[in-house]
A and B are shown apart, each in its own frame.
Chain A
Amino acid sequence: MPTLSGGLSDWRCMQKPPRRHGPDVSIEKTWADLANNIREIQNHNAPNLSFEENHRFAYNMVLHKQGEMLYKGVKQLVSENLDHLASTQVVPAFPSGASDETVQSQEAEMLLKALRNIWDDHTSNMVRLGQILKYMDRVYAKSADVPEIWDVGLNLFLKHIIRSPIKEHLVTAILTQIQFERDGYGVNRSAIKGCVDVFLTLEDTNGLTVYKRDLEPALLRESQTFYESEGVKLLQSCDAPEYLRRVESRFESEDSRTHHYLSHNTAPALRQILQEHLLTSHLNAVISMETSGLDAMIDLNKTNDMARLYHLFITVPTGLMCLKRALKDSVRRRGDAINQASSGIEGGDGDGQLTGPKSRPAASLGAQTLTLALKWVQEVLDLKDLFDKIWKEAFSSDRELESNLNEAFETFINLNDRSSEFISLFIDDNLKRGLRGKTDTEVDVVLDKTITVFRYITEKDVFERYYKGHLAKRLLLGRSVSDDAERGMLAKLKVECGYQFTQKLEGMFHDMKISEDTMKAYRTHLSQTVAPTIDISVIVMTSTFWPMAHPTSTCTLPLDMIKTSKSFEQFYLSRHSGRRLTWQPSLGNADVRVTFKTKKHDLNVATFALVILLLFEDLGADEFMTYEEIKQATSIADSELQRHLQSLACAKFKILKKHPAGREVDPSDSFSFNADFSSSLQKIKISTISSKVESGEERKETKDRIDEERRHQTEACIVRIMKDRKHMTHNDLINEVTRQLATRFQPNPLNIKKRIEGLIEREYLERCDDRKSYNYMVIRILLVWTQLTDMTRHELRTQTCTIISHTVFYTCILMILQRSNIDIFPDSYFSAGSSLYLTRSRHYLTSSSPR
Chain B
Amino acid sequence: MADVEMTAASDADWVRVTSDDGYSFLVRRKVANASETMRDMLDTAGNYAEAIARVCPVQQRGVIVEKLLEYMSFKAHYADAGPRDEIPVHEFMDRIPPEIVLELLLAADYQNM
The answer on a CB contact under 8 Å between A11 and B50 is: no
Q: Does A617 contact B (CB under 8 A)?
A: no
Check B49–A51 contact: CB distance below 8 A. Answer: yes
**Which one, A42-50, A110-118, A299-307, is touching chain B?**
A42-50
Stretch from A130-138, A579-587, A745-753 contacting the other chain: A130-138
- B46 with A51: CB separation less than 8 A: yes
Query: Does B59 touch A at the CB level, under 8 Å?
Result: yes
Query: Which residues of chain A have C-beta atoms less than 8 A from B57's C-beta?
Result: 50, 52
Q: Which residues A47-61 have CB closer than 8 A to chain B?
A: 47-52, 54-56, 59
The verdict on B19 contacting chain A, using a C-beta distance below 8 Å, is no
Please tell me if A851 contacts chain B, counting CB pairs below 8 Å: no
B47 on the interface (CB 8 Å rule)?
A: yes
Against B, the Cβ 8 Å flags (1 = close, 0 = not) of A460-475 are 0000000000000000
Cα(A11)–Cα(B37), bound, Å: 21
Contact A128 B46 (CB under 8 A): yes
Q: At the interface, is chain B mostly helix, strand, loop or mixed?
A: helix
Cβ contacts B44-82/A at 8 Å (1 or 0 each): 011111111000110100000000000100000000000
Pick the contact of A52: B46, B56, B101, B108 (CB < 8 A): B56
Q: Is the CB of B50 within 8 A of A8?
A: no
* Beta-carbon contact of B102 and A48 below 8 Å: no
Q: Please tell me if the beta carbons of B108 and A4 are within 8 angstroms of each other in the complex.
A: yes
**Chain B residue at minimum C-beta to C-beta distance from A50:** B49
Would you call B71 and A1 a contact (CB within 8 A)? yes
Scan residues 21-46 of chain B and give those whose CB is less than 8 A from a CB of chain A.
Answer: 36-37, 40-41, 43, 45-46
Given A5-B108, A134-B36, A51:B102 Cβ within 8 A: no
- B108 near A49 with CB under 8 A, answer no
Asked if B59 and A52 sit within 8 Å, CB to CB, the answer is yes
Q: How far is the CA of A15 from the CA of B99 in the complex (A)?
A: 12
Does B105 sit at the interface, judged by CB under 8 A?
Answer: yes
Given the contacts A131-B40, A134-B36, A134-B40, A48 and B112 also touching, CB distance less than 8 Å: no
Residues of A within 8 A of B59 (CB): 20, 52, 56
A1 CA to B47 CA, complexed, in Å: 27
A127 & B49 in contact (Cβ 8 Å cutoff): no
Q: Report A1-23 CB contacts with B as 1/0, cut-off 8 Å.
A: 10011011001001101101000
With the chains together, A181 CA to B41 CA distance in Å? 45
Q: Which residue of A lies closest to B43 (CB)?
A: A131
> Could you say which of A17, A51, A124, A138 contacts B51, with CB atoms under 8 Å apart?
A51
Closest to A14 in B: B102
Residues of B within 8 A of A14 (CB): 102
**Roughly how many angstroms separate A14 CA and B48 CA in the complex, as a whole number?**
36
Closest to B36 in A: A134
CB distance from A303 to the nearest CB of B (A): 52
- A336-351 CB mask vs B (1 if < 8 Å, else 0) is 0000000000000000
**Assuming A18-B103, A51-B48, A52-B57, is B41 touching A5 (CB within 8 A)?**
no
Contact flag A15-B48 (CB < 8 Å), given A51-B41, A134-B40, A134-B112: no
Chain B residues within 8 Å of A7, by CB: 105
Which residues of A (24-58) have their CB < 8 Å from a CB of B?
Answer: 46-52, 54-56
Residue from B40, B71, B101 within 8 A of A51 (CB atoms): B40
Within the complex, what minimum Cβ distance (angstroms) separates B87 from chain A?
Answer: 13
Please measure, in the bound complex, the distance between the C-alpha atom of A135 and the C-alpha atom of B104, giving whole angstroms.
17
B45–A55 touching, CB < 8 Å: no
- CB of B106 within 8 A of CB of A124, answer no
| 0 or 1 for each of B82-113: is its CB under 8 Å from A? (1 = yes) | 00000000000000000001111110111011
**Among A52, A127, A128, contact of B50 (Cβ-Cβ < 8 Å):** A52
Interface residues on B, range: 20 to 34
A138 to B37 alpha-carbon distance, docked (Å): 12
Output the nearest chain A residue to B64 by Cβ-Cβ distance. A18
| Closest Cβ neighbor of A8 among chain B residues | B109
* Contact status A1-B113, CB under 8 Å: yes
The smallest beta-carbon distance between A129 and chain B, in angstroms, is 9
Chain A hits for B51, CB < 8 A: 47, 51
Is A55 a contact partner of B47 (Cβ separation < 8 A)?
A: no
State whether B46 touches A46 (Cβ < 8 A).
yes
Chain B: CB-nearest residue to A2 = B113
Cβ A17 vs Cβ B46 within 8 A? no
Closest Cβ–Cβ distance, residue B108 to chain A (whole Å): 5
Determine if B48 and A5 form an interchain contact, defined as CB atoms under 8 angstroms apart.
no
Complex-state Cα separation, A134 to B112, whole angstroms: 9
- Chain A contacts for B104, CB-based, 8 A: 1, 4
CB-based contact A46/B48 at 8 Å: yes
Query: Taking the nearest CB of chain B, how far is it from the CB of A56, in angstroms?
Result: 7
Q: How long is the Cα–Cα vector from A355 to B67 in the complex, in angstroms?
A: 126
Residues in A with CB closer than 8 Å to B105 are 4-5, 7-8, 11
- In the bound complex, do residue A55 and residue B46 qualify as a contact, i.e. CB atoms below 8 Å apart? no
- 0/1 interface trace, chain A 132-148, chain B, CB 8 Å (1 if under): 10110010000000000
Contact B50 A59 (CB under 8 A): no
Neighbour of A11 across the interface among B36, B41, B52, B102, CB < 8 A: B102
Q: State which residues 82-137 of A face B: CB under 8 Å.
A: 124, 127-128, 131-132, 134-135
CA distance A831 to B62 in the complex (A): 116
- For A20, A128, A131, the residue with the greatest tally of chain B CB atoms inside 10 Å of its CB is A131
Of B56, B71, B112, B113, which one neighbours A138 at CB under 8 angstroms?
A: B112
Shortest distance between the CB of A88 and any CB in chain B (Å): 23
Residues on the A chain within 8 Å of B40, using CB = 51, 55, 131-132, 134
* Cβ distance A119 to chain B, nearest Cβ, rounded Å: 16
Give chain B residues whose Cβ lies under 8 Å from the Cβ of A46: 46-48
> Once bound together, how far apart are the Cα atoms of A639 and B87, in whole Å?
115
Given the known interface contacts A5-B108, A11-B106, the answer about A49 and B37 at a Cβ–Cβ threshold of 8 Å is no
* Contact B47 A134, beta carbon cutoff 8 Å: no
**Given the complex, which residues of A lie within 8 Å of B103, measured CB to CB?**
17-18
Looking at A51, A52, A55, A127, the one whose CB has the most chain B CB atoms below 10 A away is A51
- State the CA gap A338–B30 with chains docked (Å): 85
- A131: which B residues are within 8 A, CB to CB? 40-41, 43, 46, 48
Least Cβ–Cβ distance between A847 and chain B, in angstroms: 89
Taking the nearest CB of chain A, how far is it from the CB of B20, in angstroms?
8
**A49 in contact with B48 (CB, 8 Å):** yes
Please, which residues of chain A bring their CB within 8 A of the CB of B113?
1, 5
Pick the contact of A127: B36, B45, B106 (CB < 8 A).
B45
Which of A4, A11, A48, A56 has the most chain B CB atoms inside 10 A of its CB?
Answer: A4
Query: How far, in angstroms, from A20 to B47 measured CA to CA in the complex?
Result: 25
Q: In the complex the two chains form, what is the Cα distance from A124 to B103 in whole Å?
A: 34
**Given A14-B102, A47-B52, A134-B37: A124 in contact with B112 (beta carbons within 8 A):** no
Report the minimum CB–CB distance from B74 to chain A (whole Å): 9
> 7 A-B contacts, Cβ less than 8 Å apart?
A8-B109, A15-B102, A51-B51, A52-B59, A127-B46, A135-B112, A138-B112
List residues of chain A with CB under 8 Å of any chain B CB: 1, 4-5, 7-8, 11, 14-15, 17-18, 20, 46-52, 54-56, 59, 124, 127-128, 131-132, 134-135, 138
| 5 A-B pairs with least C-beta separation | A51-B48, A131-B40, A51-B41, A131-B46, A128-B46
Known interface pairs A1-B71, A51-B50, A56-B59; 11 further A-B residue pairs with C-beta atoms within 8 A, sorted by A's residue number: A5-B113, A8-B109, A47-B52, A50-B57, A52-B59, A55-B37, A55-B41, A59-B110, A127-B45, A128-B47, A134-B37
